[in-house]
Structure 1
Amino acid sequence: MLYLTLRQYEYVCAIGRHGSLSAAALRLNVSQPALSNALTRVESHLGYPLFSRRRGAPMALTPQGRKFIEEAEALLNRAALLEDSKQPVAGESRLRLGCFIDLAPFLLAQSLHHLREALPDIVLTHGVETFEGLISGLIDGKYDFALTYDLGMDAGFSCRKLFDSTPRALLSADHPLARADQLSLAELAKYPLILSKEGLSAQHVLGLFRRKALNPTISHRAESLEIQRSLAAHGEGVGISYASPESGYSYDRKHLVSLPVSDPEATEAVVLARHGTGPTDPMITTAERALVELLQRD
């Protein structure tokens, strides 16, 4: 027996698409009470809310609501196909991958390619974010999982370690430390640092020094990795980055030296993270397995 009608599905999808009862009612040319009653009926039957409702704020989809509406829209498309065989059916399964901004140039393209090979029937989208953007995106259901460093996530997240990343010191070719094979945090603390402007990244790097009772000065906070590399190449300080291209030149063709930081505690794990610790649906399990197969290193 069907407890929900296609009309109720249509009404709920319209609310999700337009962000409010009033906008959806105007679009569908129905009354707001009709939409509100349909939403109440659907949520009551499902046993969980599809939208978060805060006074004075727009209606926002919960993670469960986002998934329900995607599946409801696929159902409506299939129903429309029965009535009109010429109408295309939208993709039924969607997968959303997030990636930390500094890792994206190294990991994103190959990950998307591998996922499409492993799951050819899915609709795959991606986003590139800061740490804070990824964490909120995972919690809100904007992303199903994310490639990031193991920073800022609590016990409410599941993380699969892919590999360890050692930070590198970025120096100009004529810097006094440029001829070393590797550098310690104590050696680097004697020189002004160029850190990322991304808050959690900068806090993490500074925390490495402070745990050794070192208090370096900060010369710049760079908006991007390439700006950090350019500043370092021009002698504006020592950059410290976990993501560093193999090229020995900055974008503006200045020679740049990149040396590993020797302190073992500075090593940080790159992980595949998702929100929640319980079992997930088979599609996400398959996607996680594919990315681990591609990126996990001994």
Structure 2
Amino acid sequence: MFSKREYEYVMEIAKEGSFSKAAQKLYISQPALSGAIKKIEKELYGISLFDRNVNPVALTPAGQYYLEKTRKIYELSNEMEQHFAELAGIRSGVINIGSSGYFCAYFLPEVIRGYCRLNPKCRINVTETDISGMDAGLRTGQFDITMDVEALDPEMFESVTLGYEYMIMAVPASFAVNEKLKEFQISRESILERSFLDEAVRAVDLSKVSKEPFLMLKKNQDSYKRSMDICAHAGFEPKVIMYFDQLQTAYNVARSGQSGIIFFRDALLKYTEKTEKLCYYKIGDPLAKRAILLSMKRYPGVGATVDDFIKYILLAKK
């Protein structure tokens, strides 16, 4: 009456609210997924797990009960598997991570590939979400850990600092204001090497760009809040002409050379081509520095495999 695969099928449909979307995420056909759910329902004396007459598809009370109980069985099964794998000196099990689009796209793939090469029996699932989704996912057990720059409730969650990132200002090279800022310009190399953090490197006078157009991430994001506060500390409110979901998109638009100024995270330059269409500047405001946090529930805590993965990430960041 229980298998890990069937549990994952029910959980994915409940999460997506759609058989077709869940099938895509699970890499199976929709008819195969529908057939698997009908098989489960047949074994449960014909009781429906989903209300298929509503959009999005929703769990019935029986479906909610099934998912709640099978989640406990699933977790216990993973715990037993991990226990005996550890006795044998093998790391195994499933690690579920929630993170923002930037870390999902750039940082996590390389780390996950490296860890899975060492631990081929371990499977790692990554879900892109915002900070509210990370909070909810940790609370419900959907995620074992999350990675982001926004802090979660310290009473409920424990956070480990992986390192720090720094916001840089990029101005399209075509903007005349660069002439006024020439003495503050820093090179791409100094950002990649982080030599721009030396106290001898001067921070830009942000008041000189108070009349220029800006590009920002959307208002629910930490980068937006910090950028607005940094400008406020410099004595002006930026004229925002466009808002974006993703930092990479905003950076590429700025790089087009005709749009606006952007504040971006310094590590992004590792993943972008060198360009002459942007001029870079150090930001002196303390808000330009922010911690990269790995968060998890305080109680009951993470299992041995997740703990081992966290240690691996910490070593990878050094």
Which of the five TM-score ranges fits, normalised by the shorter chain? 0.5 to 0.7
Bigger drift between 279-288 and 117-126 goes to 117-126
Partner of 2:101: 101
Q: 1:59 aligns with which of 46, 64, 67?
A: 64
Partner of 1:289: 311
TM-score by length of 2: 0.64
Partner of 2:31: none
Partner of 1:68: 73
1:226 aligns with 2:248: yes
Structure-2 separation of matches of 1:238 and 1:223: 16
Q: Is the contact made by 2:214 and 2:238 (CA closer than 8 Å) also made in structure 1?
A: yes
Structure-2 separation of matches of 1:244 and 1:205: 17
- Cα distance, 1:129 vs structure 2: 2.8
- Cα distance, 1:140 vs structure 2: 2.8
The superposition leaves residues 165-213 of structure 1 with CA deviations (integer Å, 9 ceiling, x where unpaired) of 1101122112213633342544444422211136223233223334565
Cα RMSD for the two superposed structures:
3.9
Partner of 1:141: 141
Structure-2 separation of matches of 1:25 and 1:95: 25
Partner of 1:197: 218
Q: Is the contact made by 1:157 and 1:276 (CA closer than 8 Å) also made in structure 2?
A: yes
Partner of 1:154: 153
Partner of 2:45: 30
Q: CA, structure 1 residues 109+263, in 2 after alignment: closer, same or farther (shift >3 Å)?
A: same
Q: CA, structure 1 residues 140+204, in 2 after alignment: closer, same or farther (shift >3 Å)?
A: farther
Bigger drift between 104-113 and 174-183 goes to 174-183
- Cα distance, 1:294 vs structure 2: 0.8
1:239 aligns with 2:258: no
Structure-1 separation of matches of 2:209 and 2:233: 14
Bigger drift between 172-181 and 159-168 goes to 172-181
Partner of 1:18: 10
Q: 2:291 aligns with which of 256, 269, 278?
A: 269
Task: Give the match's secondary structure for 1:142.
Answer: coil
Amino acid at match of 2:45: V
Bigger drift between 164-173 and 191-200 goes to 191-200
The superposition leaves residues 128-159 of structure 1 with CA deviations (integer Å, 9 ceiling, x where unpaired) of 3333333333333222112211x151112211
- Cα distance, 1:290 vs structure 2: 0.8
Q: CA, structure 1 residues 163+135, in 2 after alignment: closer, same or farther (shift >3 Å)?
A: same
Structure 2 alignment gaps of length 5 or more: 15-36, 50-58, 81-90, 186-202
Partner of 1:207: 229
1:256 aligns with 2:278: yes
Q: CA, structure 1 residues 165+188, in 2 after alignment: closer, same or farther (shift >3 Å)?
A: farther
- Count of residues paired in the alignment: 250
More helix by share: 2
Q: Is the contact made by 1:158 and 1:273 (CA closer than 8 Å) also made in structure 2?
A: yes
The superposition leaves residues 44-72 of structure 1 with CA deviations (integer Å, 9 ceiling, x where unpaired) of xxxxxxxxxx998962856x963532544
Amino acid at match of 1:68: I
